[in-house]
Amino acid sequence: MYEAINPIAFRLGPIQLYWYGIILSVAALIGLIVVIQEGKRYQIHPGFFLDMVLVGVPSAIVGARAYYVVFKWEDYRNNFWDVFKIWNGGIAIYGALIGAIMAMIFFFRLRGYNFWRIADLCAPGLIIGQLIGRWGNFINQEAHGGPVSEDFLRTTLHLPNFIVNQMNIEGVYYHPTFLYESIWNFVGLLLLLWLRRQPFLRSGELFLTYFTWYSIGRFFIEGLRTDSLAWYASNWLAALMKLLWSPMGLLFHEGEMSYGTVRVSQLLSVLIVLIAISLIANRRFRKHQERYADPIASNRP
């Protein structure tokens, strides 16, 4: 009988180090290195990006936890101090992105940089961090989709044994949604790396493309999951979400929600795509001429 991968990588006395934390740390480090290298093309000192991480990471953690708690408030309203027990689980990527972006708006302004210019530089690093970080969910056997057959994983998807075995949770095989999202983000990374070399790319568009790409993939993959944060929405909104997801339904069965009628991440994904496309169109209509390849300079000494 196959045993799942131990989520504890190793122990140092009473201290336990988890694969999840190691993978997230590696993801953040590689993403940071990519951002620093891109920043060097614009003569931006690496120290700026290190300071950015010191501000951004705590903000992302707070945002990720706050987002989760807001939509699971019934679990915390009578146990308020559990809100701070983040080690028990309960964070969300969208919350992390929202928290980090809010902090970066102020941080970049404080350092005299245009938000869109630096956000563009960070886009490839962000998507790299996400495509690596999802493997932490793989180790923890979480954030998976609904039940599937072993034959589907081995014969249809041709997955290696270590993934198939880890997707066997208490005798039931599940959709490896972590893998779907990781692959989607890898393709997105290739797109961003190609776009940043194109002369037509204007400031802000690489970052907005990243958000659009990620949100489209997240919308369809989220529909396969069974642990989605959800809420009870109007019937017309629930019907609209199902209609938009229906092309995916031709290939896979939708994952069952434990509560609610609309998945929060799906609704947010749709809103982000609409906002991002609107911002790109609006900035071009207003003839915003600054391009990705143009020099970046701080207005602070």
Angle at the Cα of 160 from the Cα atoms of 158 and 162, rounded to 5 degrees: 145
pLDDT confidence of residue 88: 67
Number of domains in the chain: 1
Q: For 73-103, how does the pLDDT look when each residue is reduced to its tens digit (9 = 90+)?
A: 888 888 888 788 776 677 888 999 999 999 9
Domain that holds residue 187: 8-285
Residue 259 maps to a domain: yes
Structure tokens at 98: 């929202």
Question: pLDDT (tens digit, 9 = 90+) per residue, 237-273?
Answer: 999 999 999 999 888 999 988 889 999 999 999 999 9
- The predicted structure's pLDDT at residue 70: 87
Tell whether 216 is covered by a domain.
yes
Residue 60 is assigned to a structural domain of this protein: yes
CA distance 136 to 27: 10
**Residues 6 or more apart whose Cβ sits within 8 Å of residue 96:** 60, 61, 63, 64, 67
For residue 203, what is the DSSP state?
A: T
Residue 291 lies in a domain: no
pLDDT at 222: 96
| Residue 1, pLDDT score | 59
Helices (H) and strands (E) in the chain, counts: 10, 7
Residues of each annotated binding site: 134
Distance CA 110, CA 282 (A): 26
1 falls within a domain: no
Query: At 146, phi and psi to the nearest 5?
Result: -75, 175
φ/ψ bin of 156: left (φ > 0), alpha (ψ from -120 to 50), beta (otherwise): alpha
How many beta carbons lie within 10 A of that of residue 299, not counting itself? Answer: 9
Give the H/E segment covering residue 172.
Answer: strand 172-174
Determine, yes or no, domain membership for 130. Answer: yes
Q: What is the pLDDT of residues 33-72, one digit of tens each?
A: 999 999 999 999 999 999 999 999 999 999 999 998 888 8
Neighbours of 136 (CB within 10 A): 22
Sheet containing 168-169: order of strands? 147-148, 172-174, 168-169
Q: Evaluate whether residue 68 is within a structural domain.
A: yes
Q: Is 32 among the domain residues?
A: yes
pLDDT in tens, 115-161: 999 999 999 999 999 999 999 999 999 989 999 999 999 999 999 99
